[in-house]
Structure 1
Amino acid sequence: MTLFRLNRLFNPESGRALDVAVDHGFFGEPSFITGIENMDDVVNTLVKANPDAIQLTLGQARLLQSKPGKAKPSLVLRTDVANVYGNPLDTHIFSHHFPHAIEEAVRLDAVAVCVNLMQLPGRPEIREACIQSIMALRAEATKYNMPLMIEPLVMQDNSTAGGYMVDGDTDKIVALVRQARELGADLIKADPTDNVADYHRVVEVAGDIPVLVRGGGRVDDRTLLERTVAVLEQGASGIVYGRNVVQHPNPAGITAALMAVLHSGASVDEALQLVGGAA
């Protein structure tokens, strides 16, 4: 299957991509919308910063796609919603994809759709729900030739680590990434491993499926850029960062720095000079 839409996601020279995820409000957690309360402003800022893509939900996608011109970032559409990030967890937890998600993505001119494959300690029903969503989306994605990005998400126990905390165990991540490939992923958005030198194992098990690395929680600029360089050296095809861009004091600056690393091979020190230089 030829996925022509991906030609609008990956940079033609570097073959890499920066997708800025701003789909956090979908999950209903109050802390997730810190810094992104006004989505019009957020999207306007990101469009000017011009990453390769912006990851949005059905309700927010129009803020990007209504903008005129053909040079704006591409749209990656989030298709599923869950309540697995609270601490403590709700007594009933769920994960669902929304109806007609692939048709909506086609209408919105998305370059790909994104769906979770979550592994929570002691909650196999959530992984099952994710697999059911993936299988339903895969069938429709094939029909419409829409690239399917699967997000294997290995989580720590919420009661000890709090919501949204990644388990960076390499073996667990490798196993879940392998399952994502087996389920028919066209793209994989995977957690960073605790030991970044292990990340080639994640890329290797994904085979010819491009791997984009999740950003996780906020870190300082040097740490973020060093980690980015490291995962690229391990074979990653790009990054999907959210809070490290949209909650940054200078989103345009950190976007410029990340794009320089991805597409121009800039060093960490060279990229750091761009953080304060972009308005």
Structure 2
Amino acid sequence: MNRIFAADGKSVSLALDGFGFSEKTAGVDAAARKVPEMVEHGLDNVLVTYGQARNFAQYFTGAGLTLRVDTTTAVYDGSVPDNMPAFDILDAVKLGADGVVIMNFPGAHNERATNEFAARLTRQSAEWNVPFMCEALPFGYAVTTPESADPEKIATAARFSEELGADIIKTRFSGTDRDRLIVENCTVPVLALGGPKSDHETYFGFVAHVMACGAKGVAVGRNVTQDPKPLAMVSALGALVHEDATAAQAMALYTQIDD
């Protein structure tokens, strides 16, 4: 856990694992090669696929490494209609990973299968002392209905995944004050996933919001990998997560840094 989170118990995590479930992977490889520089700018942890952990290992030594051990069953369908177990804790141990992550879909058609995989990982996690991060997404991967983004539903999904044994919850936030319910309903650290694809000031405002709601950090993908200044973005996120910066302060920092 001390590799995934900084000494203050918070984490700026970079999601580089899109190759496992999406075609939208522009910028991922370039960002992976910049991880050593990102660590100097405040990056704490990376989420990666098995192939990345093996083939990009030289870039990840300075950061915590969380291995995605599930994968989509339909890589050309961006909605990720289903996922499947691909690897497990033993694979993570062999690769020297600091933790594992999967998606869990409470309320979805495949809820039973994702629950069973989560429970198996929990048992292995306890045996090998490897932290288990669960990406709790109510009703499925995509936000398709108002319920999918309802903080009460998200809070239930998050706590349900914690009760299956997750050491860390990664989940979506709605951007409303009711997001406090998500964090208050958990007793383990909660990371906010992604966030809106928007202008920088709006995005920094969202990150400041989730931190004010009690999140222990963020797990960000395209908002870093597809940003024209990824190092500046990581610096701004580091200030928001670790220094309680405001959105305006983060924006000023982003503007000052040239990649």
Q: TM-score under structure 2 normalisation?
A: 0.89
In the alignment, what sits opposite 1:9? 4
In the alignment, what sits opposite 1:75? 65
In the alignment, what sits opposite 2:19? 25
Any gaps of 5 or more consecutive residues in structure 1?
Answer: 1-5
1:203-214 superposed matches below 5 A = 203-207=183-187, 209-214=188-193
- SS of the residue corresponding to residue 137 of structure 2 reads strand
Residues 224 and 234 in structure 2, CA contact (< 8 A), matched pair in contact too: yes
Instruction: Output one character per residue of 1:112-139: Cα deviation in whole Å (capped at 9) or x when no partner.
Output: 110111246xx42x11111111111111
In the alignment, what sits opposite 2:136? 152
- Match status 1:220 vs 2:199: yes
Aligned residue identity for 2:216: S
1:113-152 superposed matches below 5 A = 113-119=100-106, 123-124=108-109, 126-152=110-136
1:53-72 superposed matches below 5 A = 53-67=45-59, 72=62
In the alignment, what sits opposite 1:231? 210
Aligned residue identity for 2:38: A
Distance 2:209 2:220 in 1: 15
- Match status 1:199 vs 2:189: no
In the alignment, what sits opposite 2:96? 109
In the alignment, what sits opposite 2:32? 43
In the alignment, what sits opposite 2:237? 258
Instruction: Output one character per residue of 1:204-238: Cα deviation in whole Å (capped at 9) or x when no partner.
Output: 1112x000110145222111111111111111111
- SS of the residue corresponding to residue 8 of structure 1 reads coil
In the alignment, what sits opposite 1:3? none
Distance 1:152 1:205 in 2: 13
Residues 170 and 194 in structure 1, CA contact (< 8 A), matched pair in contact too: no
Residues 239 and 250 in structure 2, CA contact (< 8 A), matched pair in contact too: yes
Any gaps of 5 or more consecutive residues in structure 2?
Answer: none
95 and 107 in structure 1: CA distance in 2 versus 1, 3 angstrom threshold: same
In the alignment, what sits opposite 1:52? 44
253 and 58 in structure 1: CA distance in 2 versus 1, 3 angstrom threshold: same
Runs of 4+ aligned residues of structure 1 deviating over 6 Å after TM superposition are none
Count of residue pairs the alignment pairs up:
255
Distance 2:190 2:20 in 1: 23
Distance 2:79 2:153 in 1: 22
- Alignment identity in percent? 27
Residues 179 and 213 in structure 2, CA contact (< 8 A), matched pair in contact too: yes
The alignment's C-alpha RMSD in Å is: 2.6
Aligned residue identity for 2:19: G
